[in-house]
Amino acid sequence: MNIRFAVIALSVVLAVASAGHGQAQSQSWPHQPVKIVVGLAAGGLTDTITRIVAQPMSERLGQPIVIENRPGAAGTIAAEAVARGPADGYTLVMGNLPQMVILPAMTGTRYDPVKDFVPISIVGSNPFVLCVNPKLPIHTFADFVAYVRERPGQLAYGSGGIGNGTHLSMAYFLKLAGLDMIHVPYKGGASDELAKIAGTWPATRSAMAGAPPL
C-alpha cells in the first residue's frame, strides 16, 4: 500500500500587481477579460485550483477569465512577469508558497512579494503527504525510514520543482531523519504526479489532493 504522512499545508493566494490596485478600481473594474497567470504546468494542484475558481469568478465579474500557464523556476518566472507587466488589475497571479515566501527569502527574486503585489484572497490550501511506491516492501513509516537508511544516496524522490514546497518539505524531513536521497525535480506537480502513478520513483512528496488513492 502507499504510505502517506501529512507534513505541511500549501496555501494558494490570488494576487495582483500592487500599482494597479487603485487604478483598476477607479475604472469600474473589470470592463475587459481578466488573465490569471499560473507559475506551474497545467494539471497540477495550483492549476487545478485556478480552473475551479475561474468559472464562478467569471460569472460573478461578468467577464471571461483567461488562464495562462508559465511554468519554470518554481513559479518565479510567472510572478516576475506579472510584477513587471501592466499594472492595470487585469493580469493576476495565482501565487503559492515558493513564489511568495520561500524563494524570495532564500535565494532572492527580481520582485518583492510584499511591495510588488496586493493579495486578493486565500483561494485554497492542502496538506502534503509522503507517498511510497507500493511495489516496495514498505508498510509503515518506520519501514520507509529503515529502507532508505540502508541505501544512502541510491534512492530518488520526485517533486514539483526546485524550491517547490514538495521539494523543501521532503528535504527538511530527510535532514531531520538523517536520510540521503536523490532529488528529481519537475516543472510542476502534474508531471511529478504522472511519474508517481507510473511508479518511476520510490517516493515523492505530494499535495493530498493529488495523491493516488490507497
Mean pLDDT in order along the chain per 10 residues (214 residues): 31 70 61 93 85 93 95 88 90 88 87 91 81 84 93 87 80 94 75 56 57 48
* 43 and 108 belong to one structural domain: yes
Can you give the pLDDT at residue 14?
78
Contacts of 67 (CB under 8 A, 6+ apart): 35, 36, 38, 47, 50, 51, 54
92 three-class SS: strand
Q: Report the CATH number that the domain containing residue 105 is assigned in CATH.
A: 3.40.190.150
- Gap between the Cα atoms of 139 and 148, Å rounded: 13
Provide the whole-model pTM: 0.69
Can you give the pLDDT at residue 203?
66
Can you give the pLDDT at residue 45?
79
* 141 and 66 belong to one structural domain: no
Q: Report the CATH number that the domain containing residue 182 is assigned in CATH.
A: 3.40.190.10
* 205 and 150 belong to one structural domain: yes
91 three-class SS: strand
Can you give the pLDDT at residue 35?
94
* 61 and 145 belong to one structural domain: no
Last residue of a domain, one of 85, 100, 125: 125
Judge whether 1 lies within some domain.
Answer: no
**Contact, 129 vs 45, CB < 8 A?**
no
- Beta strand residue intervals within the chain, DSSP E: 9-17, 34-38, 65-69, 91-96, 117-132, 156-159, 182-185, 203-207
Can you give the pLDDT at residue 199?
56
- Gap between the Cα atoms of 129 and 211, Å rounded: 8
* 15 and 97 belong to one structural domain: yes
* 102 and 200 belong to one structural domain: no
Q: Which amino acid is at 95?
A: G
For the beta sheet containing 203-207, the strands, ordered from the edge strand earlier in sequence to the opposite edge, are 65-69, 34-38, 91-96, 9-17, 117-132, 203-207, 156-159, 182-185
Kindly state the cell numbers that stand for 175.
Answer: 535532514
**Contact, 154 vs 130, CB < 8 A?**
no
Last residue of a domain, one of 125, 159, 190: 125
* 138 and 44 belong to one structural domain: no
Structural domain harbouring 16: 10-125
Place of cell 461578468: 62
